[in-house]
A = this chain, B = another copy of it.
């Protein structure tokens, strides 16, 4: 039943979903809990690590870098580190990251409609 065959795992289903569903593909990239917020803040302009930290106080440092690393690995943000002695690292959106902004805005628009009770 359920058409799951030999040695099926979560990873295999993930593969399936990634290939079959472009939306799942996007979810993989921005599905982290704080990623959309990070992207949102970066859409306002380049930010230092510490600026992001202060801008999103509820996220822990571990998760913040974790997400930043993933976003960097996925090519959505670009990290620039000046090799100075108190470290100076800035993050900014790549062109792919900027391409996501319309998506983010579409999501925000829907959320506001829902909260305004526009869909009774």
Residues of chain A at the chain B interface (Cβ within 8 Å): 1-4, 13-14, 16-17, 20-27, 30-31, 33-34, 36-37, 40, 57-61, 75, 94-96, 99-100, 102-104, 106-108, 110-115, 118-119
Contact = CB atoms under 8 A, between A and B. Distances in A.
B3 A57 contact: yes
Given A16-B58, A36-B27, A107 B103 contact: yes
A117 B75 CA distance: 12
Given A102-B106, A106-B103, A113-B99, A58 B24 contact: no
Nearest to A98: B119
Contacts of A112: 22
Lowest 5 CB-CB distances: which A-B pairs, in order? Answer: A22-B111, A23-B36, A96-B119, A22-B108, A26-B107
A58 B96 contact: no
Nearest to A120: B95
A108 B22 CA distance: 5
